[in-house]
Amino acid sequence: MDTQNKSSLFVNIMPLTENIIRVVYTKSKEKPRNSILIAEDFIPERNLNTDKYLSLDDCILFKNKQGEVILKEIGHSLTEKDVFTYHADGEPVIKSKHTANGEVAYIENFIHKYSGTAYEGKLVFSITEEEGIYGLGQHEAGVYNYNGKKEYLFQANMKISIPFMLSSRNYGILIDTESAVIFDSKKGEITFTIDTTNELSYYIITGDNFDEIIKWLRSLTGRTPMLPRWAYGYIQSKERYKSSEDILNTVIQFRNSGIPIDCIVQDWLTWEEGLWGDKHADKERYPDINSLVSKLHENHVKLMVSIWPNMAEGGSNLREFKEKGLLLPNTTTYDAYSEEARTAYWKQCEEEWFSAGIDAWWCDNAEPFSDVDWNGEEKRPEELRYKLIVDQSKKCMDWTRLNSYGLLHSKGIYENWRKVRNESRVVNLTRSSYISGQRYGTISWSGDISAKWSVLKKQITEGIKFSMSGMPYWTLDIGAFFTVKDKWENRGCNCSENTSKLWFWDGDYNDGVDDLGYRELYVRWLQFGTFLPMFRSHGTDTPREPWRFGKPGDIYYETILKFINLRYQLLPYIYSLAADVHQNHSTILRSLMFDFSDDENVKELSDSFMFGKAFLVCPVTEPMYYDVNSVPLSNIEKTKILYLPKGTWWFDFWTNTIHEGGQTITCKATLDMMPLFVRAGSIIPVSEQLMYADEKKGEVSEIIIYSGQDGEFTLYNDEGDNYSYENGNFSAINLIYKDEEKTLTFGKAYGEFQYQERFRIKLITSREIPKTIEFIYKGIEEKILLI
């Protein structure tokens, strides 16, 4: 439907599926543009009725399947604004400074030139005062429910803005823009103010629950590919390993210590001194990259390497981009919006590191203009941070695309990788992403956070919220990046700021791993990280390898190993979750609102979450043993008060004690025991102990069933690290448990990959000895009696 309304804007309302409606406002009667945020293979359904909305003169009413009005769009506007480009006034005066984002060059003598007009866009919706508003990406403050709150959607270190929100009334709003946005909610209204746009475009997505809404969101914005199995194992990183020898010695110590590991990460400064961002290795420290990769692979360890989009003067990489005119204006950052520039960037990546066989990229600084905020002793108010970064970005980028640099950066990595190496899957750990970035093999991480208990607690909320934004893969620096309050020079750099204190360098532990308080915090952080889509330790200021926290027999060391080992035991479960993400658009890191939205008690609860549909994870977020500087804490109960959602029974993972849902309990939480519960009816495939993820090629040693309710789970396996699964080379077995009958039904195997034939099945009913049986599976449907 294309009409003109009272605001003198043309409105086009387009039902795309039974669950998705697109609305576009334009100044002229023109065809709505195609968005890069929408998957190319998304095909709208035909002959849809229009009873899911009602368009009136002054508003649009959106309805659910039951015909109930769940959302009203009550305001919209496009306000003309001047747009400028920036260039040097005469001969460019180029200056450089060292920041946390590397060596940054900029033109000092900027002037701006009028280049035309665009619009500031505004959309206003009426909501109920009691509904929960979630999503909008990952930020810093730990805000969970945005009803009555404000958020600035710009990209920065520690912020990944996603223009999608979920409502507890079972609808989602996707704002179809790459521009910076301000979200504001007050007095029963939400407003999206789009900084610069040419039209107003948004999607309303409805469903019976959050899973259905996310499914339609990813159908619209793109399917998530499988990551390799090793990417779900333990990843060791720090700032930084300094040579090939350093990397290899660390891996050998892991293997000699019997500690599982799948990947080691090489952080920044692989280049020669002074050539920040150049993708040629310093041959003194990395004399033979092929040999390095080969030796790591012999030890069944993968290598991830840090790359940056910004480059320092003097290197051949930057010179190539300059000569070809493929830099963003007024910068030394390559133009990821240009396909030619993305191809050139990839060829530089491929020249040494990728051709040597490395296994993953770490795309740091994928929001390259946030350095304007990455300074000073005091953190600026959010409104000022937004203005500073948006204004700085406008000097270098299309004003309508300030938030999507990281998306295009990821697109180039993914598409070019797949052109040259299809036998291994794309893995891209990136500090900035955007809606639809899931289709490019990305895992986002939360940036350079600081070691504080308060930060740990907020990060739990932020990770949950990122997943509620439709993005399936998120992680963080286990133990936090900054451990101490410190000066730039201790990072091995010369600071251009005249200050000895920086607001973001704000850890509480100046003694690092020698502080028992930090060891306790690190262990609790690692316990949380065990149940994230990617399990990765990283940080500066102090070492991060497990043996740095004690020796065998010490509680910190032993607990770290306990949870690393637990991660590997759960890999068949985790890998099956990953397949469900790919095949069915599911979510691994799950707000309790996904599974228990009928329970009013979980509406504001964001310090616990579901890991898949089986595990309720309740991280410890307060010290119980030591304060800062190894000061012992006295009279602290080693317990955590937590809420068990109603509608099911819960098994304590450590003791098999059964608890009824819908109650608050006090749970044991000694250092070696993060509270962890399993939902009744869960079917959990586990592995025997592994040293690396592919050691048993995904084979399941046992299927554990928790009684009390019916349950269902699809067991998945494939070759682990290529794209043959896209052509059916996988194995999937649907498992159905009936609690009253105490039976487990193996469905018919589907897929072309060889299915597993021998299984051990354990039924847990209480604290009594579990019942275990052996079963030989023949690939056909068969029901097994478990008692």
Domain at 633, CATH number: 2.60.40.1180
Q: Is residue 548 part of a domain?
A: yes
Domain count, the chain: 3
Nearest to 739 by CA among 693, 785, 670: 785
Q: Does the pLDDT at position 498 exceed 60?
A: no
Can you give the CATH number for the domain in which 107 is found? 2.60.40.1760
Q: Compute the distance between CA of residue 564 and CA of residue 687 in angstroms, rounded to an integer.
A: 13
For 608: left if phi > 0, alpha if psi spans -120 to 50, otherwise beta; the answer is beta
Residue 372: CB atoms within 10 A of its CB come to 19
Q: Does the pLDDT at position 340 exceed 70?
A: yes
Statement to judge: residues 264 and 184 lie in one domain: no
CB 507 within 8 A of CB 611: no
Nearest to 392 by CA among 338, 433, 331: 331
CB 607 within 8 A of CB 457: yes
Q: Does the pLDDT at position 488 exceed 70?
A: no
Q: Is residue 449 part of a domain?
A: yes
Q: pLDDT at position 583, please?
A: 98
Task: pLDDT band for 500, please (50, 70, 90 cuts).
Answer: low
Strands 711-718 and 663-668: unpaired
Statement to judge: residues 165 and 43 lie in one domain: yes
Q: pLDDT at position 492, please?
A: 44
Domain of residue 665: give its range. 600-679
pLDDT digits (tens, 9 = 90+) for 225-252: 999 999 999 999 999 999 999 999 999 9
Statement to judge: residues 216 and 322 lie in one domain: no
Q: How far apart are the first and last CA of the chain?
A: 61
Which has the minimum average pLDDT: 23-32, 137-146, 214-223, 414-423? Answer: 23-32
Q: Is residue 505 part of a domain?
A: yes
Q: Is residue 756 part of a domain?
A: no
Statement to judge: residues 17 and 57 lie in one domain: yes
Last residue of a domain, one of 679, 706, 721: 679
Statement to judge: residues 20 and 51 lie in one domain: yes
CB 625 within 8 A of CB 669: no
User: How are strands ordered across the β-sheet holding 589-590?
Assistant: 589-590, 609-611, 615-617, 676-679, 649-652, 658-660
pLDDT digits (tens, 9 = 90+) for 584-618: 999 999 999 999 999 999 999 999 999 999 999 99
Q: Is residue 774 part of a domain?
A: no
Q: Does the pLDDT at position 193 exceed 70?
A: yes
Statement to judge: residues 188 and 247 lie in one domain: no
Q: pLDDT at position 494, please?
A: 43
What are the residues whose beta carbons fall under 8 Å from the beta carbon of 488, sequence distance 6 or more? 98, 494, 495, 497, 502
Strands 442-445 and 474-475: parallel
Q: Is residue 663 part of a domain?
A: yes
Task: pLDDT band for 207, please (50, 70, 90 cuts).
Answer: very high
Residue 431: CB atoms within 10 A of its CB come to 24
Which has the minimum average pLDDT: 44-53, 149-158, 772-781? Answer: 44-53
Largest CA distance in the chain: 85
| Residue % of the chain over a pLDDT of 90 | 88
Region 552-579 average pLDDT: 98
Which has the minimum average pLDDT: 125-129, 466-470, 495-499, 552-556? Answer: 495-499
Q: pLDDT at position 12, please?
A: 94
Q: pLDDT at position 101, please?
A: 67
Q: Is residue 748 part of a domain?
A: no
Statement to judge: residues 294 and 427 lie in one domain: yes
Statement to judge: residues 444 and 517 lie in one domain: yes
Q: Does the pLDDT at position 55 exceed 90?
A: no
Q: Is residue 686 part of a domain?
A: no
Statement to judge: residues 211 and 130 lie in one domain: yes
Statement to judge: residues 134 and 247 lie in one domain: no
Can you give the CATH number for the domain in which 289 is found? 3.20.20.80
Region 645-650 average pLDDT: 98
Q: pLDDT at position 100, please?
A: 66
Q: pLDDT at position 108, please?
A: 72
Instruction: Please indicate whether residue 290 or residue 370 has the higher confidence score (pLDDT).
Output: 290
Region 182-205 average pLDDT: 97
Q: Does the pLDDT at position 496 exceed 50?
A: no
Q: Among positive and negative, which fits the CA dihedral 422, 425, 430, 435? A: positive
Statement to judge: residues 112 and 241 lie in one domain: no
Q: Compute the distance between CA of residue 330 and CA of residue 328 in angstroms, rounded to an integer.
A: 6
Statement to judge: residues 559 and 626 lie in one domain: no
* 3-state DSSP of 567-635: HHHCHHHHHHHHHHHHHHCCCCEECHHHHCCCCHHHCCCCCCEEECCCEEECCCCCCCCEEHHHEECCC
| Residue % of the chain over a pLDDT of 70 | 95
CB 191 within 8 A of CB 199: no
CB 482 within 8 A of CB 158: no
